[in-house]
Amino acid sequence: MNKMDLLKEFEDILCHNLFCYSKDWLMNTPKEKYVKQWKETKEKISLVKEIMKDVKLNIQEDIWYLVRNEELEVLGSFSTLNQAIVFAEKKKKEYMRNCDSSEVWVEIEGESEKIYIAKDYENEETEEIE
């Protein structure tokens, strides 16, 4: 179970409570004796939904993509995969220009699985003059 699962469970419980305090299936009006509880429960549902949005944003922000070389040095860290790939390609070109065939890849922080490996580039001076 993670934070989002727990928040969804809270939301379900609160929705059930709101249903119990409501006059009808639409949950638009409270039963006469439960007006206060009905209003409080609606507020709680609204707050839980806000927290769920915040948690969702934080989950996305917490992922970091690392660019590493064969010596396992971190060359850069990025919040999006696209940024990491562009940087890895740039670093691979630099290594190829310097006659170093070091491998450069992107991985998700905390994991050792290579999710993207920078391409090998042909030597740029391949054109021959006739």
Amino acid, res. 92 = K
Whether residues 74 and 34 share a domain: the answer is: no
Cβ atoms within 10 A of the Cβ of 95, count?
20
Which of the 8 DSSP states describes residue 119?
P
Helix segments in the chain, DSSP class H:
3-21, 35-61, 81-97
Domain around 14: 3-61
- Beta-strand relationship, 114-117 and 104-108: antiparallel
Tokens of residue 102, six digits: 């070091």
Indicate whether 9 pLDDT > 60: yes
Please check whether residue 125 lies inside any domain of the structure: no
Q: What is the mean pLDDT of residues 92-119?
A: 80
Whether residues 10 and 44 share a domain: the answer is: yes
Q: What is the mean pLDDT of residues 74-81?
A: 84
**Residue 108 pLDDT level (bands cut at 50, 70, 90):** confident
Please state whether the predicted TM-score (pTM) of the whole model is above 0.85. Answer: no
Whether residues 12 and 56 share a domain: the answer is: yes
